[in-house]
Structure 1
Amino acid sequence: MYSSNFFSKALSFFVIILCFSCSNKTNKIVIYSSLDTPKVNFAITDLSEVIGDNYITFESSDRYKSNITLHVEPEEKLKKEGFSIQKDDNKIVVTGYDEAGLMYGTLELAEQLKLYGFEGVKTITRNPYLEMRGPKFNIPLDVRTPSYSDVSDAAQNNIQHMWDFTFWKDYIDTMARYRYNYISLWNLHPFPSLVKVPGYEDIALNDVQRSTVKWKENYNLMAIGFDAPEILENPEIVKTISIEEKIEFWKKVMAYGKNRNIDFHFITWNIFDYGTQGKYGITDDRDNEITTDYFRKSVKQLFVTYPDLAGIGLTTGENMKGANHKEREAWAYDTYALGILDAAKEMPERQFKFIHRQHQSGAREIAEKFKSVVEADNVEFLFCFKYAKAHVYSATKQPFHENANYVEQIKGMKTLWGLRNDDTFYFRWGAPDFTREFIENLPYDVAKGIYFGSDQWIWGRDFLTNNPETPNQIEVSKHWYQWLLWGRLSYDPTISNNRFKDVLANHFSGIDADKLFSAWQNASMVYPITTGFHWGRLDFQWYIEGCKSRPQQAENETGFHDVNRFITLGVHPKSGNQSIPDYVKMITEGETTALKTPLDVVSKLHDVSDNALLNIKGLKTNENKELQFTINDIESLSFLGKYYAYKIEGATYLALYRKSNDKKHQELAVKSLEAALVFWEKYVSEAMSQNHNPLWTNRVGIVDWKQITEWVKLDIEIAKQ
């Protein structure tokens, strides 16, 4: 073993040597490591499971007598978190730039051995494509300190799990294997559930509470009013725990994350005073000096309390009551900026991240106001931009940063691109080609990384599945393929489809991986093809799995997007699609277009849905319940794709009829919408065979597939009028 003094001075490079020839005599593979660290040992555990526990012993005395050796050796081609795998005769050398790189390299080796055996291990060098790769996790800490998503089934079913270490252990391990390296926890005002702030100690909350109120369907879209009397006055205690125990809990969670190369960040919306209950004179008033002092001290105390907390972020504008850009940023500076500067000054040896969302504020104004944070030696200032609005599954190119002149405004500074997925809550998604192309189209030069997640969903534990094989399964395991794709391809977008097919073949033993891969990818494309055509950019404007929005955005009383709304709602600006009104105008005037017409979109939806349905034939089995669930999801999505194909077709013919008064177009519209009803009913039947419904969401209210069926029928009557 090298001495600890050596490691403190050495460059951060590490090597594993794997020799299989020795095992022929001893029937053992001996692993030697000069690094006895949690990150490396985590990966070794996966490696040992592949090789087989009966043939492994661990040695720490002599690396040259070992079959597998981990030691320090520089390699210039590697960067932070990078690794290489070299195979020479009967030896495999995995070199990591640092502990994280070695962990990822060992996980890669374990996967290659699992999929291909020793002979199939390939020599590769990999450095992370995006530096930061993490989830957006709206965290429901307590009814008194809610997240943006709290007024929903997803949050109410997950509050207790947020205080369960076994959840975080499984979640962190899974995310580490998928190459995520940070977790962003989003909450409107988390401080009372996390810290005791000097001078404001009485605000700290004991216990974890959930409300038993009979919830309304829809609440304020800006998250105002989550502390209504009927909500707070009907609590139940879901966990008895003191604030001191809460602090120890989150210290443990963050330390465990660090041991898996995963940092934690808290990100807030403002100004919210949830949990303070008016104590000390605190309000959500921007001009309240007590509030300003409390927030500043809370930010500092968060870092003082949690030594493994990597950073904090904020959003301005949600509840700033008419303040202009300058006023918003002045408050944010006086609270969050000065708070982190206080912490940075007190702990000069520690590195901090400060994340400021460019949301309802201008990037240039932010950069100027926060100059002292930008220039602080031990604080890294990052912007954050909602890159695809609420629908990452819309198009692989997005225009919104261009429209805001965002890249030029941040002047070479780095940003986290926010990838909001407010689409896939029920069904397992998996389209590697879409994911890869999307990631490669991100503006790379200013990209610090991404966060991927939802405002309409809590990626906690599954509560939707009827008769699950694994009750309370964590969502990132249920939706493992989706989360694997975004994590692995953000680290390495060169991963081929053949690798993913091999992963599927290993995950579902005995399956025809080519057919499953094709079916899954095609069914998953129903989301972007539909949303790229029927574009409601924000979460409350469109939820594809329920064909629904808030009533105002649907332009009716129900929120259902009927055939009229499919005519009037526009297309995604980078989808290459033509809207129905523009198509009708083109046909009427005898013109042509290079855009994809509505009927082209119809054809594409039929193609992907039919392909998926064709490929899952013969794949159904009663032996593997997870495979059953996956195929059910693929079939459900295929029926949903057929529904939207016929609905768009019906809307197009109905618009043509209204323009031309040609009865032939009306007849075609009615016929298409009748076919749409058939496939909606197939969709609902298949989806409900394994899923709970109705579902109460925080952004579009109650999604009741049976009720929506009645609204689908009304489309036919609309076309007949």
Structure 2
Amino acid sequence: MVEFALQDLKSVLGDVHILTDSSQMMEADILLQINSEVELKKEGFSIKKSHRKIIVSGFDEAGLMYGILELSEQIELYGIAGISEMTKNPYFEMRGPKFNIPLDVRTPSYSDASDAGQRNIPVMWDFDFWKNYIDTMAKYRYNYISLWSLQPFPSLVKVPGYEDISLDDVQRSTGTWENIYNLNGIGMDTPEILDNPETLKKISIDEKIEFWRKVMAYGKDRNIDFHLITWNIFNYGTGGKYGITDRMDNEITKDYFRKSVKQMFVTYPDLAGIGLTTGENMKVDGKRTNAEERENWAYDTYAKGILDAAAEMPDRKFTFIHRQHQTGAKEIAEKFKEVIDTKNIEFLYCFKYAKAHVYSATEQPYYLNDNFVEDIGSMKTIWGLRNDDTFYFRWGSPDFVREFIENIPHQVARGIYFGSDQWIWGRDFLTKDPETPDQLEVIKHWYQWMLWGRLSYDPTISNEKFTDLLANRFPEVDAKKLFSAWQQASQVYPVTTGFHWGSLDFQWYIEGCISHPRFAQNKTGFHDVNRFINLGVHPKSGNQTIPEYVKMTLADSSSVLKTPLQVAEKLHQLSDGALNDLKGINSIQNKELQFTLNDIETVSFLGKYYAHKITGSTYVAMYRETKDTHFQNLAVAELTRALDFWIKYTDKALQQNNNPLWTNRVGVVDWKEITNWVKEDIEIAKIDL
């Protein structure tokens, strides 16, 4: 870890001496030391100055790594004379990405039925990807990676008694995929998919095991643990061998899962933990089972598997993560008491804190609705922060992230994960003519990922610091204007989604104004004027729905809630503010800056589209209630302006992005086709009642 951080330090230092022996301090400019001072905690560090001397102390090696990275950054930004003393301890102990992992067509993740899933299958078996990914995440202060799969065991382990299930090679299907599959992850093993394979990599199961051992060991050297989390019950990859099915009452299936869980820890000495979800596909004869039945199955498989591993390896620490999903926290604690009481197992809950849209509001109500904090008592949870919004465009609002993090219930928090179900954060394939082909998504979207990582470690980092980081990365522009433009454009996401609230991933995708057709209440999935009128608002957004506004206006009453027209005005302010800040900022020859400015402008046009759409939809509702054609004329005018800005949005976006995009939850997002549906909003407004 220290050697890794020293690469950055040495690159900015020149001839300054670096020592790790305090007895030689008189000769040293910088001293690095492990020092578990009273004010330091695990992964904490301090930077102190004494005359010409700089002392970087870490509570442990990880803390020293973070301290050196901080020192390097300060020197790069401000020079040695500008170094600030500080003592820092992590705000959240666990800080990691949610990474749906497409290992093979035979062992898919939730996200495989998509362009992102299919394109990233070979990436998962590329060590250079993982090396760069882990290095990048370490610099952003993440300390674990959660790999999510429906059921990955055939691609990762040889299970005693079930050896014939283990899969050689890496395959992808050349068959014809459907646009949208079952929302519970069922149906990705049809003959059309499995009977048309292409081999992407010739590799034996033993070589696969060595590959992942190497990846996890590399993570250890960057203070990054790996956890594996699954949905249940899926028998993908087993091929019906040994009598394994996806039935809850199949004892062979239970035995296979129990032994697979243990074998994961036996096979991978650096695997930190395993987790599960109950409820996705846990049925018997097609009938939904109750929570007790699902938890009994989970205990007989995952719990017993990790207990077997813990008993066999008593000196090893294990983490067991149980998502609070379609099951009560108290019931989980009662059923898994033996796991909780086992000394070398840490039991953690996992809660989907903001449903699927972290970019909705900085305050979230769902843990309150479930009485979750009270129910888990003195136990701890990982808060799940789902981002199923920003796939195309670079996002960056420090104020939003900081406020969001500070609102998370800290007293029960072990940490957070940040990530997506509709997206694989692997390699970029959307950018036309990229500066760096196959660039990592977490580098393309560096600002967003840095904000969530760095602020989860230390939410007190100031906007001035982030502005300085922008100035260092893009020295040719006014960093204050860039910071302001980027933050204002990024706020388009939560302001829009806070008003137009489809809580789950299949219920809303803002960059396409689309959802699963079932939720859109039409055949296309496009959220038209009618859906903007009848869909509710985020419960903590402080917004008023359109029907509430119409009723209030006609009754000549008032409300403390923000009206739809006020929400629209806020979107105009943000978008116009960002566009105004962009004036005079020139990308010159910097291609990354060019892409960044394009994204900011593109999202600003999207904000203008939603502002006019919300206003137009409000006037349509007023017209329907009053029959006053004045409101109808206003609606047509607003929706016509909305179309203008949608065209500007898509024209700008298509300058540097590939589209259509096939997603796993809302199907194909085709901006040109959607333009036709945007036009239809105007016709909806013209309809006489």
Instruction: Confirm or deny a common fold (TM above 0.5).
Output: yes
Question: Does 2:133 match 1:171?
Answer: yes
Do the aligned partners of residues 592 and 59 (structure 1) sit closer, same or farther apart at CA in structure 2, a change above 3 Å counting? closer
Tell me the secondary structure at the aligned position of residue 450 of structure 1.
Answer: strand
Report deviation, 1:412.
1.9
Question: What amino acid maps onto 1:83 in structure 2?
Answer: F
Tell me the secondary structure at the aligned position of residue 553 of structure 2.
Answer: helix
Question: Does 2:340 match 1:374?
Answer: yes
Contact 2:31–2:56 at 8 Å: present in 1 too?
A: no
Contact 1:135–1:184 at 8 Å: present in 2 too?
A: yes
Contact 2:33–2:58 at 8 Å: present in 1 too?
A: no
Report deviation, 1:598.
0.3
Q: Distance in 1 between matches of 2:162 and 2:635?
A: 64
Q: Distance in 1 between matches of 2:369 and 2:460?
A: 29
| Aligned position for 1:286 | 248
Q: Distance in 2 between matches of 1:310 and 1:530?
A: 39
Q: Distance in 1 between matches of 2:265 and 2:281?
A: 25
Q: Distance in 2 between matches of 1:425 and 1:196?
A: 36
| Aligned position for 1:85 | 47
Indicate which of 208, 212, 220 corresponds to 2:170.
208
Tell me the secondary structure at the aligned position of residue 148 of structure 2.
Answer: strand
Question: Does 2:155 match 1:189?
Answer: no
Tell me the secondary structure at the aligned position of residue 356 of structure 1.
Answer: strand
Do the aligned partners of residues 69 and 193 (structure 1) sit closer, same or farther apart at CA in structure 2, a change above 3 Å counting? same
Question: What amino acid maps onto 2:115 in structure 1?
Answer: D
| Aligned position for 2:30 | 68
What are the within-5 Å matches in structure 2 for residues 652-671 of structure 1?
A: 652-671=618-637
Report deviation, 1:67.
3.2
Question: What amino acid maps onto 2:89 in structure 1?
Answer: N
Alpha-carbon deviations, 1:198-246, whole Å to 9, x = none? 0000111000000001111111000001111110000000010000000
Report deviation, 1:480.
0.1
Contact 1:416–1:451 at 8 Å: present in 2 too?
A: yes
Question: Does 2:315 match 1:349?
Answer: yes
Q: Distance in 2 between matches of 1:501 and 1:155?
A: 34
Report deviation, 1:188.
0.5
| Aligned position for 1:6 | none
What are the within-5 Å matches in structure 2 for residues 581-620 of structure 1?
A: 581-620=547-586
What are the within-5 Å matches in structure 2 for residues 248-397 of structure 1?
A: 248-321=210-283, 322-397=288-363
Q: Distance in 1 between matches of 2:297 and 2:151?
A: 15
Contact 1:351–1:379 at 8 Å: present in 2 too?
A: yes
Q: Distance in 1 between matches of 2:44 and 2:225?
A: 17
| Aligned position for 1:17 | none
Contact 2:358–2:387 at 8 Å: present in 1 too?
A: yes
Contact 2:99–2:420 at 8 Å: present in 1 too?
A: yes
Deviates more, 1:251-260 or 1:89-98: 89-98
Tell me the secondary structure at the aligned position of residue 76 of structure 2.
Answer: helix
Question: Does 2:100 match 1:138?
Answer: yes
Contact 2:34–2:60 at 8 Å: present in 1 too?
A: no
Q: Distance in 1 between matches of 2:525 and 2:648?
A: 22
Report deviation, 1:58.
8.0
Question: Does 2:436 match 1:470?
Answer: yes
Tell me the secondary structure at the aligned position of residue 398 of structure 1.
Answer: coil
Indicate which of 506, 513, 517 corresponds to 1:547.
513
Report deviation, 1:71.
3.2
Aligned identity (percent) is: 71
Contact 2:225–2:270 at 8 Å: present in 1 too?
A: yes
Report deviation, 1:408.
1.0
Q: Distance in 2 between matches of 1:496 and 1:106?
A: 19
| Aligned position for 1:405 | 371
Indicate which of 106, 119, 136 corresponds to 2:68.
106
Indicate which of 180, 185, 189 corresponds to 1:218.
180
Give the gaps of 5 or more residues in structure 2.
none
Contact 2:33–2:64 at 8 Å: present in 1 too?
A: no
| Aligned position for 1:458 | 424
| Aligned position for 1:572 | 538
Contact 2:17–2:28 at 8 Å: present in 1 too?
A: no
| Aligned position for 1:433 | 399
Question: What amino acid maps onto 1:329 in structure 2?
Answer: E
Give the gaps of 5 or more residues in structure 1.
1-38
Indicate which of 122, 130, 145 corresponds to 1:160.
122
Question: What amino acid maps onto 2:600 in structure 1?
Answer: I
Q: Distance in 1 between matches of 2:578 and 2:427?
A: 28
Contact 1:48–1:56 at 8 Å: present in 2 too?
A: no
Report deviation, 1:323.
1.2
Contact 1:59–1:66 at 8 Å: present in 2 too?
A: no
Alpha-carbon deviations, 1:25-53, whole Å to 9, x = none? xxxxxxxxxxxxxx01111111011113x
Contact 1:137–1:454 at 8 Å: present in 2 too?
A: yes
Q: Distance in 2 between matches of 1:671 and 1:665?
A: 10
Tell me the secondary structure at the aligned position of residue 515 of structure 1.
Answer: helix
Q: Distance in 2 between matches of 1:332 and 1:73?
A: 42
Q: Distance in 2 between matches of 1:621 and 1:150?
A: 36
Q: Distance in 2 between matches of 1:596 and 1:482?
A: 28
Report deviation, 1:57.
8.1
Report deviation, 1:69.
2.8
Deviates more, 1:72-81 or 1:468-477: 72-81
Report deviation, 1:55.
6.5
Kindly tell me the number of residue pairs found equivalent between the two proteins.
Answer: 682
Q: Distance in 2 between matches of 1:97 and 1:650?
A: 57
Indicate which of 468, 472, 490 corresponds to 1:502.
468
| Aligned position for 2:9 | 47
Q: Distance in 2 between matches of 1:709 and 1:63?
A: 69
Q: Distance in 1 between matches of 2:8 and 2:136?
A: 12
TM-score for both structures, normalised by structure 2: 0.98
Q: Distance in 2 between matches of 1:543 and 1:502?
A: 32
Report deviation, 1:119.
1.1
Q: Distance in 2 between matches of 1:401 and 1:203?
A: 40
Q: Distance in 1 between matches of 2:21 and 2:371?
A: 56
Q: Distance in 2 between matches of 1:390 and 1:558?
A: 21
| Aligned position for 2:453 | 487
Report deviation, 1:56.
6.6
Report deviation, 1:294.
0.5
Report deviation, 1:72.
3.9
Contact 1:525–1:608 at 8 Å: present in 2 too?
A: yes
What are the within-5 Å matches in structure 2 for residues 685-696 of structure 1?
A: 685-696=651-662
Report deviation, 1:63.
3.4
Indicate which of 220, 231, 236 corresponds to 2:193.
231
Tell me the secondary structure at the aligned position of residue 396 of structure 1.
Answer: coil
Structure 1 ranges of 4+ moved more than 4 A:
54-62
Alpha-carbon deviations, 1:105-142, whole Å to 9, x = none? 11000000010011111011110000000000000000
Contact 2:28–2:53 at 8 Å: present in 1 too?
A: no
| Aligned position for 1:535 | 501
TM-score for both structures, normalised by structure 1: 0.94
Question: Does 2:492 match 1:526?
Answer: yes
Q: Distance in 2 between matches of 1:74 and 1:315?
A: 38
Q: Distance in 1 between matches of 2:647 and 2:195?
A: 41
Report deviation, 1:343.
0.2
